[in-house]
Structure 1
Amino acid sequence: MSLDTSAVPAAAPGRPALRRGQAISPTRLASLAVFAAVAAWIVLTFRDYGISNDEPVQHTYGQLLLAWYASGFTDERAFHYINLYLYGGLFDLIAAGLEPYVPLPLYEWRHLLSAGFGLVGLVGTWRLARLLGGEKAGLVAVLLLAFTGMYGGAMFTHTKDVPFAAAMVWSLCFITALAVELPALPRWRTVLGLGLSVGCALGLRVGGVFAVFYLALILAAGTLVFRDLRLPLRVLPRLVVSGLVALALMAATWPWSVLPPTNLFKAMGAFSNFSFDLKTLFNGRLLPIDQVPPGYMPEYLLIKLPEVTLLGLLAALAMTVLAAARLVRGRRLAMAVLAHPRRMLAFLPLALAILVPVVFAVLDDPPLYNGIRHFLFVLPPVTVLAALGLVGGWRGLWRHSRVAGAVFALAALELFLFNASVLWRLHPYEYVAYNQLVGGTAGAWGRFEGDYWSSSLREASLALRHGVARERAPEHPYKVSVCAEDVQALTYLGPNFQAVEDWDGADFVLSASNVGCDGIPGLPYATVSRMGLAFASVMDQRLRHPPVEVPLPDKDRGMDKGMDPDAPAVSLKEAGPQETGPQVAKARP
């Protein structure tokens, strides 16, 4: 397969790939096995992931949206809650609404739900790659994305970003289906699917307008390719149905956006210009988020993609250049477009989904932080392109030389297995993985963003809880200070711990290796590490609290008060085994 016009299956997307009675191909069986394995992995591991910084407020936002509905649309606290009203509440509404009926702790339930959205995104990625490149491309795409740390490892904790990425890749699927069906009217399944997927995207983030932009460009391109000025008018009635479905879903999950409707544009402006007191780590420099260089997002994308994905992208680029050179040399470029318009249009949504967000981030230069978290929705289309490159590169080389094809396949397999081993060693912090362009995760440590969610505090908290359980039970709860949200530690510490704000007055300080959470004094009590890198630490500060000297009372004054001059300064009647000195009382502030 190559990335010229022959790359796209001749059949229109969306039609059943298998007819009744036809046997399922081995590649399709392998894809189904991958989905089953991912589902099993989710069920087995969703409890391993810690609470992210934003989850407490996000869940509160979902509860406030429920309160708005329950009050008969009079309780408007959700419309003024921090800055959460600028986001859609689709995920948080589902999480808060089903919480009373799910027999799981709150945050475990949220992580399971988020991973479910991630699985839906994997299915959408598989479907998009299969539409463009066939069954093998679909299988390769889902494997690549599942083993991309910033997706497969993030889908448990990035409860806003991964659901949005899933909705966007499904929007891309239906836009691609519509492009291939042109100049005929899109089928109703495509129309409804487009409305539902775009509505879900807008119900999570205002960035769903990217999908609307892609659709508009596809219609414009179709008008030019087919030389049919009436094409938009013929398609418009069905697109109106898609738009109404999308708006209804957006209004239901993000009511602020339509009260009044101009709020949608306010949200768009806010995310291009918002800023607050936060710094991000980029190339070893701590920068305010509104002063990051234009290359912040594309550079993070480049160093976060797995090596095997980069190989696929290089192969796709090489094949595209070669195909374009052949067409230009033979002066057949325009003829190719006219001969295969549907096939050429099919690639345009994929190209737009990759290029438009990257160009936007470079030219608009919005405030950015947490690496590519806010542009995580670019990963599925990038992965699809890489899968097309890997499959196409292998096929092209195999046709010319079976040895060359085998070498290429073995190189890709080796890179894939290497990446999988890295994620295995990082579990459950796969989302911090970096590729070898920066020396891997170890080379990026301290130079780029690490565990920005502080999710490693779960493991640190459990280590502290199990450690003090072996000590004598305290008379009072241990005081702990957390360099993050208290709930990220207290959820796992149990009743023998009390959160305090003052680090100096705490018995233990828990911190993740993140910006502003290093240099804490004390004795190391426990460390959470992977691949020789410290992700979180527990510092024991109990020995930093000096004993308080209690001076002996004046003998003469004691005599005046009727005290026995030979009595000890501190009564030993109730003394424990540690209080053996009569002249010094030890007190902890």
Structure 2
Amino acid sequence: MTFSPTSDLRVAPSARLGSPSLARLASLAVFAAVAAFIVLTFRDYGISNDEPVQHTYGQLLLAWYASGFTDDRAFHYINLYLYGGLFDLIAAGFEPYVPLPLYEWRHLLAAGFGFVGLIGTWRLATRLGGEGAGVVAVLLLAVTGMYGGAMFTHTKDVPFAAAMVWSLYFITAFAGEMPAVPRWRTMLGLGVAIGCALGLRVGGVFAVLYLAVTLGAAMLLLRDARLFVRLLPRLLVAGLVALAIMAVTWPWSLLPPTNLFKALGAFSHFSFDLKTLINGQLLPIDQLPATYMPEYLLIKLPEVTLFGLLAGLALAAWALVTRLRAPRIRAGLAATGLSPQHLLLALPLALAILVPVAVAVLTDPPLYNGIRHFLFVLPPVTVLASLGLVGAFHALSRQARLAGAAFALAALGLFLFNASVLWRLHPYEYVAYNQLVGGTPGAWGRFEGDYWSSSLREAALALRHGMEREKPPAHPYKVSVCAEDVQALTYLGPRFEAVEDWEDADFILTARHVGCDAAPGLPYATVRRMGLAFASVRDQRLRHMPVEVPDQDDDGPDLSAPDGDAPVVSQNGGPQGAGPQVAKAKP
């Protein structure tokens, strides 16, 4: 028996969310809104502290090709050779032809990858739950700060998440078309998606694992021992497509082929001198609790997504109990009311959520920056939440229209609340936390904040605009940046030059995170959201002014001398009114 891909796991037609045409129209409207948001806001985002080296890596990969494969500096550059260069190759290759500043171009490109990931999430949710679930999944992912806000600056993580969700979609389509031989379109799409994932990170092997487990499960559930043999030619073609993309975008991985395993080993055991915040504790990254990743995932998901997950869990438990109580139920698989094909179709989504979490808990790898390295788990979790919301809404509506309407209003209220939080945080949406830890204000100082220091863009612009109102200096102002210099100098202009030592600086620009909180000087400007200080500018110009020291005797300074009238100025702080307290006037 061939399982029709049109049946999938979708709810019955009578239970779907509105007509297909209306749902498709809603989908198009949502994507149009997201596209408009990207175009209107991509210039608002600051430079992440990894971007300069990532772009250099892309340029070095281009140099390898341009030199006829002799300039191999890309294969020794810091530790970037352990990553695929798909995104950085595109960014560096098109840079000369794009009429945008470098980092604005990179942020627009990264958001484009994020947009493609939203489309993949919509396709996956639609396949499993119908058009209504697809619309809901896109909306949920868009108000997830670690995706909707991160897709401008997380130029490794979001493109990888986009490639992984498309891999998951094609694996699900592959499962839905068995035991017949899957279509060439499905297999080629699978090869391209997995190849792009491996061309970004070695973590693309997760997709290969999901595919292998799904195929093995199909052979068992469908009782077809020859299934693998029948599928082998098309699997080989998909594998060759994936290897070709990986070879082009990450040539180090195949020179020699054992390098792929070296990269896997490096990311399993890497460590360096870095500490990260977890529940108020500042810990070395190789001494973190095993719960680091799932704990961060739990507190970073928006409330509406958690609501959907809980609704789906309750719905599944209720359905299972109902079926088990039915007298006509026989023992075995029928007790669940699910056919082997339904289980196969659900398996890839379950693997995509459970396997990365299990790997993080059981292997306890060195981690930092919250869930940044596992951001690819967010789309499948969001799809599951969308299925829970839509399924629970229809189940309640069948019992009582009022119950369904109340459920929908509760979900809508949570969605609007989450959207308002991101609006207030813009353009630092990625730092958002849910109410399990008191929201972003409650998490501040207990968990990771602006770890990319992207708020330095706004701080630098505040300093630049403030200095433009003053008389031009005889020499450029000296600034010290508690991050990468390029994160501030890109926006400061020619009146400023960077120095390393805080003592030599006229101004110090700091992001308010670990290691940058104790900068001296008078407050000049502060970047704030939701009452929280994200970054600040400290003014040290008084430190460098010549001051005559009055004569002193054993009784202390002679305050009657003319110089004794000079005020005492603390260089380690000062009242908030000591300098123009600049905060972006965003709600």
The two structures share one fold, judged by TM-score above 0.5: yes
- Matching of residues 387-536 of structure 1 within 5 Å: 387-536=386-535
The one-character-per-residue Cα deviations of 1:130-166 (angstroms, maximum 9, x if unpaired) are: 0000000000000000111000000000000000000
1:75 is matched with 71
1:324 CA displacement:
2.9
The one-character-per-residue Cα deviations of 1:325-380 (angstroms, maximum 9, x if unpaired) are: 34444445513679722222111000000000000000000000000000000000
1:24 CA displacement:
6.5
1:334 is matched with 333
Partner Cα distance (1:339, 1:539) in 2? 63
Partner Cα distance (1:549, 1:74) in 2? 63
Q: Secondary structure at the match of 1:474?
A: coil
Match of 2:270 among 271, 274, 277: 274
- State the AA in 2 paired with 1:488: Q
The one-character-per-residue Cα deviations of 1:37-64 (angstroms, maximum 9, x if unpaired) are: 1111101000000000000000000000
- State the AA in 1 paired with 2:486: V
Q: Secondary structure at the match of 2:33?
A: helix
1:317 CA displacement:
1.1
Q: Secondary structure at the match of 2:286?
A: helix
Unaligned runs of 5+ in 1: 1-7, 18-22, 552-580, 582-589
Residues 1:35 and 2:31 aligned together: yes
Partner Cα distance (1:320, 1:10) in 2? 22
2:357 is matched with 358
Residues 1:172 and 2:164 aligned together: no
Which stretch shows the higher mean deviation, 444-453 or 333-342?
A: 333-342
- State the AA in 2 paired with 1:95: A
- Matching of residues 308-387 of structure 1 within 5 Å: 308-329=304-325, 330-335=329-334, 340-387=339-386
2:115 is matched with 119
- Matching of residues 529-568 of structure 1 within 5 Å: 529-545=528-544, 547=546
Q: Secondary structure at the match of 1:377?
A: helix
- Calculate the TM-score normalised by the size of structure 2: 0.90
| 8 Å Cα contact 1:64-1:78 kept in structure 2 | yes
- Matching of residues 214-253 of structure 1 within 5 Å: 214-253=210-249
2:260 is matched with 264
In the superposition, relative to structure 1, how do residues 413 and 462 fare at CA in structure 2: closer, same or farther (>3 Å)? Answer: same
1:561 is matched with none
1:323 CA displacement:
2.6
Residues 1:143 and 2:139 aligned together: yes
Partner Cα distance (1:223, 1:336) in 2? 21
1:443 CA displacement:
0.1
Partner Cα distance (1:187, 1:362) in 2? 37
1:401 CA displacement:
1.1
1:578 is matched with none
| 8 Å Cα contact 1:257-1:263 kept in structure 2 | yes
| 8 Å Cα contact 2:296-2:371 kept in structure 1 | yes
Partner Cα distance (1:76, 1:33) in 2? 47
Q: Percent identity?
A: 79
1:565 is matched with none
Name which one, 1 or 2, has greater alpha-carbon Rg. Answer: 1
Match of 1:201 among 197, 210, 224: 197
Partner Cα distance (1:440, 1:190) in 2? 41
The one-character-per-residue Cα deviations of 1:96-145 (angstroms, maximum 9, x if unpaired) are: 00000000000000000000000000000000000000000000000000
In the superposition, relative to structure 1, how do residues 336 and 101 fare at CA in structure 2: closer, same or farther (>3 Å)? Answer: farther
Residues 1:155 and 2:151 aligned together: yes
- State the AA in 2 paired with 1:450: G
Partner Cα distance (1:362, 1:13) in 2? 30
2:297 is matched with 301
Partner Cα distance (1:218, 1:36) in 2? 35
Partner Cα distance (1:408, 1:33) in 2? 23
1:10 CA displacement:
4.6
| 8 Å Cα contact 1:222-1:345 kept in structure 2 | yes
Match of 1:49 among 41, 45, 49: 45
The one-character-per-residue Cα deviations of 1:275-319 (angstroms, maximum 9, x if unpaired) are: 111110110010111111100000000000000000000011112
Partner Cα distance (2:143, 2:449) in 1? 18
In the superposition, relative to structure 1, how do residues 339 and 398 fare at CA in structure 2: closer, same or farther (>3 Å)? Answer: closer
Partner Cα distance (2:35, 2:420) in 1? 20
2:177 is matched with 181
Q: Secondary structure at the match of 1:75?
A: coil
In the superposition, relative to structure 1, how do residues 444 and 12 fare at CA in structure 2: closer, same or farther (>3 Å)? Answer: closer
The one-character-per-residue Cα deviations of 1:513-555 (angstroms, maximum 9, x if unpaired) are: 111110111100000000100000000011123526599xxxx
| 8 Å Cα contact 1:9-1:133 kept in structure 2 | no
Partner Cα distance (2:196, 2:380) in 1? 18
- State the AA in 2 paired with 1:43: V
- State the AA in 2 paired with 1:52: S
Match of 2:54 among 58, 69, 73: 58
How many residue pairs match? The answer is 541
Partner Cα distance (1:531, 1:253) in 2? 41
Partner Cα distance (1:479, 1:55) in 2? 24
Match of 1:99 among 84, 95, 102: 95
Partner Cα distance (1:417, 1:351) in 2? 28
| 8 Å Cα contact 1:9-1:132 kept in structure 2 | no
Partner Cα distance (2:287, 2:315) in 1? 37
Partner Cα distance (2:158, 2:397) in 1? 36
Partner Cα distance (1:331, 1:507) in 2? 79
Residues 1:289 and 2:289 aligned together: no
2:16 is matched with none
| 8 Å Cα contact 2:60-2:74 kept in structure 1 | yes
1:5 is matched with none
- State the AA in 2 paired with 1:180: G
- State the AA in 2 paired with 1:280: T
Which stretch shows the higher mean deviation, 326-335 or 66-75?
A: 326-335
- Calculate the TM-score normalised by the size of structure 1: 0.89
- State the AA in 1 paired with 2:350: A
2:80 is matched with 84
Q: Secondary structure at the match of 2:525?
A: strand
